[in-house]
Structure 1
Amino acid sequence: MNLRTLSVVVLLFIATPCSGAISPYESVKSATDDLLAKLNKLRPAYDTDQGHFFSEIDKALAPFVDFEGFSRGVMAKFYRRATPDQRTAFAERFRELLIQTYAKALVEFDNQKVVVREDVKTGRDASRAAVTLDIHGKNGAIYPVEYSLVLKDDVWKLRNVVINGINIGLQFKSQFGFYMQKHRNDIDSVIEAWRVDG
């Protein structure tokens, strides 16, 4: 099971609204169950109408990912150097790339068993939590996926994900840093040129 296939499980959380009135576990469990039921209906559109397919994934992702917070972490030290317009443009570009990445991964998801762990990690900040899913591969291996969540406006939103020990936020950050070096710290050029590897 490759990283792209694993990464589709991000959708298993963000495709369904998650009210702050219920626990992070209940939010993730409900969203996972709902999306697994939708996968078979959505997958055929990838071959017949990719525009529609990407649009549907965009609708699923947009309300429940903290794109601003996620993209700020990816830009890291360069965030402060960016103008408000550049920050907005990068967040939009990041959203586009993230949606494309997981939309393509969606078609590779082959009804693997997904188990949401009930033990939720929390800290002193009640607005943050981490929920782990276990994906059971066909080879018998179990792949842990940890969602980092933040509570914003009574909705649990995705801020980062660690897939089988691979921190996706850090991967995006590394790729962004590479493009900044390549384009001599020209943020506008990076926004225009950046592509996500894989």
Structure 2
Amino acid sequence: MRYARMLMVVLLLAAGISTAADSEPEPVKLIRSTADYVLQQIRKRKPELEKDSSGIYALVQEKILPHFDFRIMSRGALGRYWRRATEAQKQRIAREFQELLVRTYATTLLNYSDQQVEYLPFRGKPDDRRVTVATRVHSQDGPPVPINYRLYRTSDGRWKIYDVVVDGVSLVSNYRSSFAAEVKKGGIEGLISSLARHNRKQRGA
């Protein structure tokens, strides 16, 4: 599975070029505050985290992943095959998918090197249930990379990320071809087994 480059860009977040304002829409505040906190911790604790990776896994698990909806992301990544899965299989896919991203995110964050994020003007309306937060990531070795975060508002008013579009490529769609190939080869159980094997390997089990 070749996702490292996309996830590297997604997670190279830093304090925004502009200063956060109290009037910022809630989806923008969510993304900015999460990025600011996580990267502040990485800067402060990098030697410790490089020595013991369990700390970075815990940081990702606690501060980043609660803002993602892995069931919706898994459904999008599976596409038409989602309807073939039982409820138990759907839960297992979402769980394995989440672990895959936890470990990929954690490894990626340790390679952070002070890239900057520019938060673009927000185009949503106060009563919108689905919005996009648009950003550009600036680095010294290339043009800025556009990153758009797609979020929806839950029934209790929270915002959840259900996709990230990097330079025009959807994270969810990027997984879809690989997931489809695994399903065609070994069915839904084959996909789950493939994800589980990958995760066990990353755990060193």
Does the alignment reach a TM-score above 0.5? yes
Shift of 1:67: 1.0
The reply to whether residue 111 of structure 1 matches residue 135 of structure 2 is: no
**2:8 matched residue in structure 1:** 5
The one of 67, 82, 96 equivalent to 2:70 is 67
Alpha-carbon distance in structure 1 between the residues aligned to 2:72 and 2:13: 16
Q: Give aligned pairs, total.
A: 184
Question: 2:137 aligns to what SS in structure 1?
Answer: strand
Alpha-carbon distance in structure 2 between the residues aligned to 1:39 and 1:47: 10
Shift of 1:90: 0.5
CA contact (8 A) 2:50 2:110 kept: no
TM-score under structure 1 normalisation? 0.81
The one of 180, 185, 196 equivalent to 2:183 is 180
- The correspondence of residues 40-189 of structure 1 with structure 2, limited to 5 A, is 40-121=43-124, 126-152=128-154, 153-183=156-186, 185=187, 187-189=188-190
Shift of 1:147: 0.3
Percent of pairs with identical residues: 26
Partner AA of 1:161 in structure 2? V
Alpha-carbon distance in structure 2 between the residues aligned to 1:93 and 1:154: 27
Question: 1:118 aligns to what SS in structure 2?
Answer: coil
Give a deviation string over 1:61-120, Cα, whole Å, max 9, x none.
332111111111111111111111101001100100111121111112211111111223
TM-score under structure 2 normalisation? 0.79
Is the alpha carbon distance of 1:10 and 1:80 closer, same or farther for their aligned partners in structure 2, counting shifts above 3 Å?
A: farther
Shift of 1:30: 2.9
Is the alpha carbon distance of 1:48 and 1:79 closer, same or farther for their aligned partners in structure 2, counting shifts above 3 Å?
A: same
Residue segments in structure 1 that go unaligned for 5+ positions in a row: 13-20
Alpha-carbon distance in structure 2 between the residues aligned to 1:155 and 1:9: 24
Is the alpha carbon distance of 1:149 and 1:173 closer, same or farther for their aligned partners in structure 2, counting shifts above 3 Å?
A: same
Is the alpha carbon distance of 1:25 and 1:118 closer, same or farther for their aligned partners in structure 2, counting shifts above 3 Å?
A: farther
Alpha-carbon distance in structure 2 between the residues aligned to 1:5 and 1:24: 22
Question: 2:111 aligns to what SS in structure 1?
Answer: coil
Is the alpha carbon distance of 1:146 and 1:175 closer, same or farther for their aligned partners in structure 2, counting shifts above 3 Å?
A: same
Shift of 1:4: 3.8
CA contact (8 A) 1:128 1:148 kept: yes
Alpha-carbon distance in structure 2 between the residues aligned to 1:31 and 1:120: 21
CA contact (8 A) 1:75 1:176 kept: yes
CA contact (8 A) 2:13 2:117 kept: no
RMSD: 2.6
Residue segments in structure 2 that go unaligned for 5+ positions in a row: 16-23, 200-205
Is the alpha carbon distance of 1:100 and 1:120 closer, same or farther for their aligned partners in structure 2, counting shifts above 3 Å?
A: farther
Give a deviation string over 1:21-65, Cα, whole Å, max 9, x none.
953223323333333322213433443222332122111233211
